[in-house]
Structure 1
Amino acid sequence: MLFVRNIRMPLSASAEEAAQRAIRMAGVPARLVAGTQTAKISVDARRGTPTLVYTIAIKLLDEGAEPAFAGSAPCVFFQTNPPLELTPGTQPLETRPVVVGLGPAGLFCGLLLAKQGFRPLILERGPQMEQRMQAIHAFNEGGPLDPNANIQFGEGGAGTFSDGKLTTRIGDALCGEVTRLLLEHGAPEDIAWRQKPHIGTDRLQAVIRSLREEIVRLGGEVLFNTRLTGLETKNGRLSAVQTTAGAIPAQVAVLAVGHSARDTFEMLREQGLPLECKPFSVGFRAEHLQSDIELGLYHGAAGHPALPRGEYQLSHHVGDRCVYTFCMCPGGQVVAAASEEGGVVTNGMSYHARDGKNANAAVVISVDGRDFGGDPMRAIAFQRELERAAFRAGGGDYTAPAETLGSFLQGQGKLELGRVQPTYSRGVAAADLGSLLPDELANGLRTGLAAFGRKLRGYDAPDTLLTGLETRTSSPVRLVRGEELECLALPGLYPCGEGAGYAGGIMSAAVDGLRVARAIVQRFAPVNEL
Structure 2
Amino acid sequence: MLIRIANFRTPVESPEEDLRERLRRKLGLDDTDLQSFRIIRKSLDARQRRSLQYVYSVAVAVPDGSKLKSSSDFQVQPFEGKPFFDPSPGTTGMEHRPVVIGSGPAGLLAGYYLAIKGYRPIIIERGRPVKERVPAIRKFDRGGEHDEENNYLFGEGGAGCFSDGKLTCRITGPDVDWVLKSFVDCGGRPSLTYEHRPHLGSNKLPMICRNYRRKTEALGGEYRFGCCLEGVKISDGRLQGLETSSGFIPASHCILAIGHSARDTYRMLLDAGLPLQAKAFQMGLRIEHPQQLINEHKYGREEYLQQLGAADYTLVAKGERDLFTFCMCAGGVVIPSVSEPNMYCSNGMSNSRHDTPFANSGLVVTLEPEHFGSAHPLAGVELQRLYEARAFEMTGGNYEAPVQRAVDFLANRTPSPQEVIPSSYERGVKPRNLAEVLPPPILKAIQAGLPVMDAKWKGKYLPDAVLVGPEMRGSSPVRIDRDRESWQIPGLSGVYPVGEGAGYAGGIVTAAVDGLRAARKIVEQFAPV
* Alignment TM class, shorter chain as reference: over 0.9
So what's the TM-score if we normalise by structure 1?
A: 0.94
SS at match of 1:144: coil
Gaps of 5+ in 2: none
Distance in 1, Cα, partners of 2:220 & 2:460: 51
SS at match of 1:233: strand
C-alpha displacement of 1:247: 1.2
SS at match of 2:109: helix
1:526 pairs with one of 518, 525, 528: 528
Q: Which runs of 4+ in 1 moved over 6 A?
A: 415-420
Partner of 1:155: 156
Q: Go from structure 1 to structure 2 and tell me whether the alpha carbon gap of 1:187 and 1:261 turns closer, same or farther (over 3 Å shift).
A: same
Q: Contact conserved, 2:45 with 2:55, CA < 8 A, in 1?
A: no
Taking the TM superposition and a 5 Å limit, the aligned residue runs for 1:79-158 are: 79-80=80-81, 82-158=83-159
Taking the TM superposition and a 5 Å limit, the aligned residue runs for 1:183-332 are: 183-300=184-301, 303-319=304-320, 321-332=321-332
Partner of 2:345: 345
C-alpha displacement of 1:339: 1.0
* TM-align CA RMSD: 2.2
Range with greater deviation from structure 2 (233-242 or 380-389): 233-242
| Alpha-carbon displacement from aligned partner over 1:223-256 (angstroms, at most 9, x marks no partner) | 0010001110122211101101111111001100
SS at match of 1:447: helix
SS at match of 1:282: strand
**Is 2:185 the partner of 1:171?**
no
C-alpha displacement of 1:5: 2.5
**Is 2:373 the partner of 1:360?**
no
Taking the TM superposition and a 5 Å limit, the aligned residue runs for 1:325-474 are: 325-372=325-372, 373-414=374-415, 421-457=422-458, 460-474=461-475
C-alpha displacement of 1:438: 2.4
| Alpha-carbon displacement from aligned partner over 1:243-297 (angstroms, at most 9, x marks no partner) | 0111111100110011001111111111111112111111111111111112112
Distance in 2, Cα, partners of 1:304 & 1:344: 35
User: Aligned AA for 2:433?
Assistant: D
C-alpha displacement of 1:305: 2.6
Q: Contact conserved, 2:98 with 2:119, CA < 8 A, in 1?
A: yes
SS at match of 2:427: coil
Range with greater deviation from structure 2 (212-221 or 32-41): 32-41
Partner of 2:35: 34
Distance in 1, Cα, partners of 2:64 & 2:342: 61
User: Aligned AA for 2:261?
Assistant: S
Distance in 2, Cα, partners of 1:173 & 1:448: 37
SS at match of 1:494: strand
Q: Go from structure 1 to structure 2 and tell me whether the alpha carbon gap of 1:219 and 1:11 turns closer, same or farther (over 3 Å shift).
A: closer
Partner of 1:511: 513
SS at match of 1:99: strand
Distance in 1, Cα, partners of 2:271 & 2:13: 62
| Alpha-carbon displacement from aligned partner over 1:131-153 (angstroms, at most 9, x marks no partner) | 11121111111111011111110
C-alpha displacement of 1:363: 0.6
C-alpha displacement of 1:191: 1.2
* Equivalences, count: 523
Distance in 2, Cα, partners of 1:294 & 1:382: 36
Range with greater deviation from structure 2 (234-243 or 381-390): 234-243
Q: Contact conserved, 2:295 with 2:305, CA < 8 A, in 1?
A: no
Distance in 2, Cα, partners of 1:291 & 1:303: 13
Range with greater deviation from structure 2 (136-145 or 253-262): 136-145
Range with greater deviation from structure 2 (193-202 or 433-442): 433-442
User: Aligned AA for 2:387?
Assistant: L
Partner of 2:496: 494
Distance in 2, Cα, partners of 1:323 & 1:109: 34
SS at match of 1:326: strand
Distance in 1, Cα, partners of 2:402 & 2:314: 24
Distance in 2, Cα, partners of 1:71 & 1:100: 52
C-alpha displacement of 1:418: 10
User: Aligned AA for 1:339?
Assistant: S
Q: Contact conserved, 1:2 with 1:67, CA < 8 A, in 2?
A: no
SS at match of 1:312: coil
User: Aligned AA for 1:329?
Assistant: C
| Alpha-carbon displacement from aligned partner over 1:194-239 (angstroms, at most 9, x marks no partner) | 2211100111111110001111110010100100011101222111
| Alpha-carbon displacement from aligned partner over 1:141-176 (angstroms, at most 9, x marks no partner) | 111101111111000010111220111112242110
Q: Contact conserved, 1:215 with 1:221, CA < 8 A, in 2?
A: yes
SS at match of 2:168: coil
Q: Contact conserved, 2:84 with 2:174, CA < 8 A, in 1?
A: no
C-alpha displacement of 1:430: 0.8
| Alpha-carbon displacement from aligned partner over 1:440-479 (angstroms, at most 9, x marks no partner) | 3212112111111122355533331111111211111000
SS at match of 2:220: coil
User: Aligned AA for 1:152?
Assistant: L
Range with greater deviation from structure 2 (297-306 or 126-135): 297-306
Q: Contact conserved, 1:44 with 1:50, CA < 8 A, in 2?
A: no
User: Aligned AA for 1:363?
Assistant: L
Q: Contact conserved, 2:405 with 2:421, CA < 8 A, in 1?
A: no
User: Aligned AA for 1:412?
Assistant: R
Distance in 1, Cα, partners of 2:311 & 2:129: 33
Q: Contact conserved, 2:277 with 2:378, CA < 8 A, in 1?
A: no
Q: Contact conserved, 2:93 with 2:526, CA < 8 A, in 1?
A: yes
Taking the TM superposition and a 5 Å limit, the aligned residue runs for 1:45-64 are: 45-55=46-56, 57=58, 59-60=60-61
Distance in 2, Cα, partners of 1:58 & 1:183: 20
Distance in 1, Cα, partners of 2:164 & 2:149: 22
Distance in 2, Cα, partners of 1:332 & 1:437: 24
| Alpha-carbon displacement from aligned partner over 1:4-44 (angstroms, at most 9, x marks no partner) | 23222334333355433322333433222234455433222
Q: Contact conserved, 1:419 with 1:463, CA < 8 A, in 2?
A: no
C-alpha displacement of 1:353: 1.0
Q: Contact conserved, 2:255 with 2:495, CA < 8 A, in 1?
A: yes
